[in-house]
A = this chain, B = another copy of it.
Amino acid sequence: MGELVFVGLGLHDEKGISLRGLEEIKTAEAAFMELYTSLLPNFSKKRLEKISGKKLQVVSRKELEEENGKVIIEVAEKGKAVLLVPGDPLIATTHVALRIHAEKLGIETRIVHGASILSAVIGLCGLHNYKFGKSVTIPFPEETPTETPYEVIAQNKKLGLHTLCLLDIKAEEKRYLSIAESLGWLLKIEKKRKEKIITSNTLMVGVARAGSKKPTVKAGFLRELMNHDFGEPPHSIVFPGKLHFMEAEALVILAGASDKVREMVE
């Protein structure tokens, strides 16, 4: 029996992979790659093939989900198969399903971790990790007009906690939900529910292109950031809860918030 190694590609481009991850590719029977669960805006398959000296085979959502990763499993039954995944692998449910499937077939599985958008955004904001409540993904509102993100932000706020909002992507269609679109949708829900969770005075942080050399990290009140140009995707939003002195300082100094934010310390 062989093995299946999930290797995280980290963030932004092909240089987000760890040295250990690169070794796994080099020693694999075959290396596969999925690029639809997250966006690595500057990733080049060719460059990674050159660095690793290995041919990389892109697998589609269909191959991974509908066909249970058959093409990967066939290799992993005999030798070492590597599946390259954006970010830290096994955060997306799809990979957990594949891992369970492989283990049930008697294939050993391992994970080589990579940098994740989850901790990257926290680090970029300078907010305290242990003050984040549950996180949420904002889906494309025209397709999934759910109020869950609003509810999660509301619940966290009541507890004084920050909320990390990941914004949906449809990589196969090259569509990436923007901060502006997400705010528009949240304001629509606010208009209906009137709980004063998302207003023009709501403090927020917009983060774009985490993991790149020039990420945009901008904190401010919603009215200031609604029309801010955050540039290329991927985008994320953080809605802070109660602020510690050091957190307010981080938002002002590291994320360009106005001095007023210093007065919001509780």
Contacts and interface: CB of A to CB of B under 8 A. Distances in A.
Given A99-B254, A126-B100, A213-B110, A134 B161 contact: yes
Contact of A134 (B8, B91, B114, B133): B133
Nearest to A20: B15
A115 interface: yes
A169 interface: no
Given A88-B120, A103-B254, A126-B99, A8 B115 contact: yes
A111 interface: yes
Nearest to A123: B90
Contacts of A161: 134
Contacts of A103: 253-254
Contact of A130 (B111, B116, B137): B137
A187 interface: no
Contacts of A129: 91, 118, 135
Interface string A19-45: 110110000000000000000000000
A171 interface: no
A14 B120 CA distance: 20
A89 interface: yes
**Contact-residue bracket for chain A:** 35 or more
Contacts of A114: 18, 115
B18 A88 contact: no
B96 A246 contact: yes
A122 interface: yes
A15 B18 contact: yes
Contacts of A254: 96, 99-100, 103, 109
A51 to B, nearest CB: 7
29 contacts: A11-B113, A15-B20, A16-B20, A18-B18, A18-B114, A18-B115, A19-B51, A87-B119, A88-B119, A89-B123, A90-B123, A91-B119, A96-B246, A99-B250, A103-B253, A109-B254, A111-B120, A111-B123, A113-B115, A113-B119, A113-B120, A113-B210, A116-B118, A116-B119, A119-B119, A130-B136, A131-B134, A132-B135, A134-B159
Interface of A: 8, 10-11, 13-20, 22-23, 51, 87-91, 93, 96-97, 99-100, 103-104, 109-111, 113-116, 118-120, 122-124, 126, 128-137, 155, 159, 161, 210-211, 213, 246, 249-250, 253-254
